[in-house]
Chains A and B, each alone.
Chain A
């Protein structure tokens, strides 16, 4: 270890950088947490209406998207192992694979939401307004929560693209990869939120 002590590099605070990312993640968790709270309260008041609303959701597409997000979470985690081992080529491929899976998620979401709109199931549609109060709230929450989550997926895709370019021009490298770790944390957050959204909206029927 004596030879490594000679080199001096620029000041860097990896723990501080990660702490900042975690603080941001906490604000995100509480943002969705508030929505989960709204969901819990209204589900408690209108259990039958929520049941009827949830029956309209496509469990197959929801499950498929869960699998896609879980796999993408693994690939971005593996990209950190790859860069730690000095294999930036593999790391870039894994980030790209994550990006591709994010696209698959969005395509699925397009078909899922598209079918809902086709059947006039969207907040404020003539059909939904005829539903009972609880089902109207259910569809409002469904579109708002999955929509906000989808927005996070899109932001995550931009983050992943930035990570790919930073890996390409070696700004992220074997010795300095906290940016990749933080970008990865954001993507895991997207996965984490979906882990709770999926059973609450699709499965609790």
Chain B
């Protein structure tokens, strides 16, 4: 076998995926339930915050980023920062023009 096979290959155990699914489902139910409380402006923040937690879990575990090459982690972080800067710049324009 050549190098790419002998590189340490991380095998995620089934139970880890099961656990992540349970957490993701719990987050989903929390975000659906939180709507029923009158939290006004907070409800958007909480819904997005929970979505970010879910997204991070999917990226880290399901998409294997946690155990993958460091290059992929840097690239994903860079794309997220690029997108966040798009949002910030757009809103700076809309709110202060």
Contacts and interface: CB of A to CB of B under 8 A. Distances in A.
Interface of A: 1, 4-5, 7-9, 12-15, 18-19, 22-23, 26, 29-30, 33, 37, 40-41, 44, 59, 63, 66-67, 70-71, 73-74, 77-78, 80-81, 84-85, 175, 181, 184-185, 188, 191-192, 195-196, 198-200, 203-205
A81 B75 CA distance: 25
Q: What is the predominant secondary structure among interface residues of chain A facing chain B?
A: helix
Given A59-B32, A195-B58, A200-B47, 18 more contacts: A14-B4, A22-B72, A29-B83, A30-B83, A59-B35, A63-B28, A73-B21, A77-B17, A77-B64, A84-B9, A184-B62, A188-B59, A188-B63, A192-B58, A195-B54, A200-B48, A203-B35, A203-B47
Chain B interface size band reads 35 or more
Nearest to B2: A9
Contacts, number: 122
Interface of B: 1-2, 4-6, 9, 11-14, 17-18, 20-21, 24-25, 28, 31-32, 35, 43-44, 47-48, 50-51, 54-55, 58-59, 61-64, 68-69, 71-72, 75-76, 79, 82-83, 86-87, 90-91, 94
